[in-house]
Amino acid sequence: MDRRPTKASLQSFKREILSHYKLNKRAMPWRDNTSPYYVVVSEIMLQQTQVDRVRTKFASFIKRFPDWKTLVQASNHQALSEWSGLGYNRRGLYLKRIAEIVAKNGEGCLKTKESLLELPGIGPNTAGSILAFAFNIPITFIETNVRSVFIHFFFKDSKKKISDSKIMPLIEQTMDTKEPREWYYALMDYGSYLKRSQPNPSRKSAHHIKQKPFKGSNRELRSNILKMLMNKGSSAFSVEKRFKSEWSAAQIRKSLTDLEKEGFLKKGGRVYQIA
């Protein structure tokens, strides 16, 4: 049976999470500097990407674009070039568009969930992360490590898949309203520990989706096209010739068209290049 949360069990849960955090907290540059810019950059990077990969890329990205202004002034080509290696390149473009909106409207557009959800590439969980980490606002949200922790403690013996609707009330009940930032750090660090020490508890989640392999996927094709065009434009014919051994001409043409529609590429005559 699921562990039924009582006041005592919730308090015991919180003590264990905080005790572990006190001894094992992870050092991250976006925790040392919780400015809205650092937090937004890190949260967009952390979408579907492991922390260790983000640490390295975050450092180089911040060195090149240390604030909203420098990112706004960068070209799409420069931003995507620095993003290269993280995958899901549209996130790099979203981040640049967010910077342009913040530069125009001020950081106030980052301070409510409603305004955050109007920004490109930001869903409910990323919005919650930004509010908690940049502004220390006590807001209920869920991400993979947080989900793992609550499933481990309260639904470990469940034979059924656990929906987030069952977890969210527990997150609300255990919220530290004075220091939500530190509480979420503690939850995420414990979730990371669980995944290293045992089978991933999130596999019990009703929302768990096994990521499809990158090799041979449309994501790989799009990434390869962007890399090819990063330094020099090429015709559709040249792109097809480069990748025809792995993808069909129809797949390649569709990816070129989609990348142009999404703002990654622009076309001059027959030549595609980074927008």
Q: Which residues are catalytic?
A: 43
Whole-number Å distance between alpha carbons of 196 and 50: 13
Residue 3 gets which letter from DSSP? P
Residue 108 gets which letter from DSSP? G
The strand pairing partners of 205, in sequence order, are 162
Three-state SS at 162: strand
Q: Residue 54: which of 89, 85, 93, 91 has the closest Cα?
A: 85
107's CB contacts (< 8 A; 6+ apart) are 36
- Say which residue the tokens 């955050």 belong to: 116
- Say which residue the tokens 């050092």 belong to: 27
Whole-number Å distance between alpha carbons of 259 and 275: 10
Q: How far is CA 103 from CA 38, 68, 70, 116, 223, in A?
A: 15, 7, 10, 14, 28
The tokens of 74 are what?
A: 């960068």
